[in-house]
Amino acid sequence: MNLHGTKVTLHDMSLRDGMHPKRHQITVDQMVAVATGLDAEGVPLIEVSHGDGLGGSSINYGFGLHSDEEYLRAVVPKMQRARISALLLPGIGTVDHLEMAVDCGVATIRVATHCTEADVSAQHIGMARKLGVDTVGFLMMAHMISAEELLAQAKLMESYGANCIYCTDSAGYLLPDQVTERIGLLRAELSADIEVGFHGHNNLSMGVANSLAAVAAGAARIDCSAAGLGAGSGNTPLEVFVAVLDRMGADHGTDMYKVMDVAEDLVVPMMDTPVRIDRDALILGYAGVYSSFLLFAQRAAENYGLSSRDILVELGKRKTIGGQEDMIEDVALDMVKARGG
Amino acid sequence: MKTNAAIIGSGNIGTDLLYKALRSASIHPAWMVGIDPASAGLARAHDKGLKTTAEGIAGLLPHLDDDAIGVVFDATSARAHLDNWRALQERDVLVVDLTPAAVGPFCIPPVNLREHLGSGHKNLNMVTCGGQATVPMVAAVSRVQPVSYGEIIATVASVSAGPGTRANIDEFTRTTAAAVEKLGGAARGKAIIILNPAEPPLIMRDTIHCLTVDEPDQEAITASVHKMVEDVQTYVPGYTLKNGPVFDGKRVSVYMEVKGLGDYLPTYAGNLDIMTAAALRTAEIFVEETR
């Protein structure tokens, strides 16, 4: 694989996907410190929102320590070079949230849908484009459909006005060849001026390998997270990916030593528990289950005296998708009934 | 004697409503109104003995009096409803609006239908499918004690969410959240909708979370929830309490499944069934009480 001189735009997830392992309790000071550090080291894009996107603060996904607006108003003015992005899942957040985020100075809006449901995003992608911001279509749980089906959904998002389309491996299930196939087809068939991106989870330890495969297949944007802070066993660790890109001579535009320092000195101390591939996270990747379910399944297992792994496997069998956190307690209650109380 | 009714919109919802109305003891579906002469829905209605027009509302207006139409169901779109309502508002008919237009007040039969009787309202809005399925549960908690926050998550099969819903999903979340507050009685409401593409299609699932102001009275809330489930079951037999109420501090959670009757739409489309069943129920109670 020759990536010498290939330009890669890195997008940090630690303050959005990283909200999941933090149960959405990152403080404003922590947000500002990490974002400022990432900005100084040259990371061009940093996402800041509730883990489930703008408007995600809820019983279902967990209430945020602060509102999206409070985080954004604190972080955006502190940026020297980096642009702040925000995630929005139609069905959870609305265009009202999107307008608020743009008013806060967000420069990139990422509109996320389940990989087969792109047509719920027309309104939101259209509005982001109308407001003149960088507009990304984010197709989640992309392992559940073929590359051809993914392309059809990507084309819908392109038609609504997205200028970048992501293949999002929300379950950390994809293997490098599957990433190559999906990204390769998107790159070949979408208009040349549409960027392609990849968002990975490290549940099968494929974060870096999959991200490299994505770059080699034509992805211009790669989501990473300082110290890997993200749902499940986390996202592709930013500092590791930067080191690998550095060895390969790719153009990542960041200062590797400073990236390491932000991860080690700022993000690792924030972790409530180590973000690692424990057996539950491994099951997410193995069974293709949405990474954010991890802590909810562990909590339900504790409350009802069950195995979290059994709960996650059952959620996989029921073909749950992103956002269905409410089914976790429901599944646990069914399992309690099945064992006779 | 039954009251004659017209259905505007010969698509899936209008047809499912027609099938239900054909069994009604108090409503007689007399007219089906469409806009496409080649519509399968119009042909189906004609086969069932209804008069039909493909001229839209204009095709129905000359017959309202002659055919003694007392109820008009609107199963079109929010935009079309505005035109339909303009044409009908001076006429002596009850308009039951299944679109998200929300020109008239929200109506969820077991929660507030009685309040509308004798109110003079001639346009009642059926909220959203998620609202019909969840607001009764919020109300079941709030009639026992104050609810500071109500949140609902409606999960429907992808194939049961039509292009109208998809093009304006924010309308669903906003309208449903408003109904959680106004009718459900929660001080603050939030609504979430998930479209799941699993095959075979999943039956509609709804989760209702409430935060009570004080410690929840578990016994009274449990009894109230069970009573409300029975009330909804009178017109949606497949409205089933799967789990709960679960009590966790001040959180009260209820897990529902809504299976349709399979009249025209498949049984998994409980979200559509509960709309047509609620609309028919509303019309039936109105005509029975005002007769």
CB-based contact, B193 to chain A, within 8 Å: yes
The SS3 assignment for B74 reads: strand
Mean pLDDT of the region B63-70: 96
**Assigned domain for A227 exists:** yes
Judge if A36 and A76 occupy the same domain. yes
Amino acid identity at A328:
I
Q: Taking all residues of chain A, what is their mean pLDDT, rounded to a whole number?
A: 97
Residue B162 has pLDDT above 90, yes or no: no
Residue B291 pLDDT exceeds 80? no
In the DSSP assignment, the letter for residue A244 is H
At position A253, the amino acid (one-letter code) is: G
Q: What is the CATH number of domain B3-126+273-290?
A: 3.40.50.720
- In chain B, CATH 3.30.360.10 covers 129-268
**Which CATH number characterizes residue A172's domain?**
3.20.20.70
A301: confidence class by pLDDT, cuts 50, 70, 90: very high
Pick from B77, B76, B53, B78: nearest CA to B64? B53
Give the active site residue among A11, A20, A143, A252.
A20
With an 8 Å Cβ cutoff, is A122 touching chain B? yes
**What integer pLDDT is reported at residue B101 of this predicted model?**
87
Reported as a single tens digit per residue, the pLDDT across B77-113 is 888 999 999 999 999 999 999 998 889 999 999 999 9
Give the per-residue pLDDT at B78. Answer: 87
B21-28: average pLDDT: 96
Element (H, E) at B148: strand B147-157
**A120 vs B243: CB contact, 8 Å cut-off?**
no
In this prediction, residue A274 carries a pLDDT of 93
Contact at CB, B170 and A333, closer than 8 angstroms? no
Q: Are residues A62 and A22 in the same domain?
A: yes
Residue B265 dihedral angles phi and psi, to the nearest 5°: -85, 150
Q: What does the pLDDT read at residue B289?
A: 85
Which residue, among B195, B242, B253, would best test binding to A if mutated, counting the most A CBs under 10 Å from its CB? B195
Q: If we measure between CA atoms, which residue out of A231, A244, A277 comes closest to residue A56?
A: A231
- Side by side, the strands of the sheet bearing B69-74 are B51-53, B27-33, B3-8, B69-74, B94-97, B123-125
B162 or A312: whose pLDDT is higher?
A312
Q: Are residues A46 and A120 in the same domain?
A: yes
Contact B267, B261 (CB under 8 A): yes
The answer to whether A266 touches A35, Cβ cutoff 8 Å, is: no
Q: pLDDT at residue B193 above 90?
A: yes
Say whether both A296 and A252 belong to one domain: no
Question: What is the span of the domain harbouring residue A319?
Answer: 292-338
Res. A190 pLDDT band, cuts 50 70 90:
very high
CATH superfamily of B129-268: Dihydrodipicolinate Reductase; domain 2 (3.30.360.10)
User: What is this model's ipTM?
Assistant: 0.96
Q: What is the pLDDT of residue A121?
A: 98
Chain A, residues 160-219, CB within 8 A of chain B, namely: none
What's the mean pLDDT in A274-279?
Answer: 95
Does the pLDDT at position B165 exceed 90? no
Question: What's the average model confidence in pLDDT over B43-56?
Answer: 96
Q: What is the mean pLDDT of residues A35-59?
A: 97
Q: Which residues of B touch A91 (CB under 8 A)?
A: 169, 172-173, 192-195
In this complex, do A59 and B251 lie within 8 Å of one another by their Cβ atoms? yes
Residues of chain B with CATH 3.40.50.720: 3-126+273-290
A157 with A265, same domain? Answer: yes
Residues of A in contact with B246 (CB under 8 A): 329, 333
Contact between B33 and B58 under an 8 Å Cβ cutoff? The reply is: no
H helix intervals, chain B: 12-21, 40-47, 57-60, 78-88, 109-116, 129-142, 163-167, 169-182, 218-233, 270-290
* Exposed/middle/buried for residue A331 (C-beta within 10 Å: 0-12, 13-18, 19+): buried
User: What are the chain A neighbours of B174 within 8 Å (beta carbons)?
Assistant: 94
Q: Do A329 and A188 reside in the same domain of the chain?
A: no
Question: Which residues from B are below 8 Å from A94, CB to CB?
Answer: 170, 173-174
Q: What's the confidence (pLDDT) of residue B290?
A: 78
The residues, any chain, with a CB within 8 Å of residue B152's CB and separated by 6 or more, are B130, B134, B135, B138, B176, B180, B189, B190, B191, B192, B206, B207, B208, B209
Asked if residue A243 has pLDDT above 90, the reply is: yes
B174, B192, B196 member nearest A92 (Cβ): B192
Indicate whether A4 belongs to any domain: no
- CATH number of the domain enclosing A310: 1.10.8.60
Query: B176 to chain A nearest CA, in Å?
Result: 11
Whether residues A85 and A173 share a domain: the answer is yes
A51 and A183 both lie in a single domain: yes
Q: What are phi and psi of B195, to 5 degrees?
A: -105, 120
pLDDT over 90 (residue A246): yes
What is the phi/psi pair of residue B207, to 5°?
A: -115, 135
Same domain, A241 and A312: no
Instruction: Report whether pLDDT(A238) > 90.
Output: yes
Phi, psi of B277 (to 5 degrees): -65, -40
Q: What is the C-alpha to C-alpha distance for residues B168 and B102, in angstroms, rounded to an integer?
A: 14
**Cβ–Cβ gap A60/B192 under 8 Å:** yes
d(CA B254, CA B244): 5
A72-120: per-residue pLDDT in tens?
Answer: 999 999 999 999 999 999 999 999 999 999 999 999 999 999 999 999 9
Whether residue A229 is found in the same domain as residue A317: no
State yes or no: pLDDT of A40 exceeds 90.
Answer: yes
Q: What is the pLDDT of residues A169-186, one digit of tens each?
A: 999 999 999 999 999 999
Measure A58 CA to nearest chain B CA, in Å.
8
Q: Please check whether residue A56 touches B, CB under 8 A.
A: no
For B216-233, what is the mean pLDDT? 98
A135 within domain boundaries = yes
- B243 interfaces chain A, CB cutoff of 8 Å: yes
CB contacts of B172 in chain A (<8 Å) are: 91
Least CB-CB distance to A91: which of B192, B197, B248?
Answer: B192
Same domain, A160 and A255: yes
Residue A280 has pLDDT above 90, yes or no: yes
Give tens-digit pLDDT for B103-142: 999 999 999 998 888 888 899 999 999 999 999 999 999 9
Domains in chain A, number: 2
CB neighbourhood size of B242 (10 A): 15
Interchain CB distance below 8 Å, A319 and B196: yes
> Which residues of chain B does A321 touch, with a Cβ-Cβ cutoff of 8 Å?
194, 196-198
Same domain? For A76 and A176 the reply is yes
B247 pLDDT exceeds 90? Answer: yes
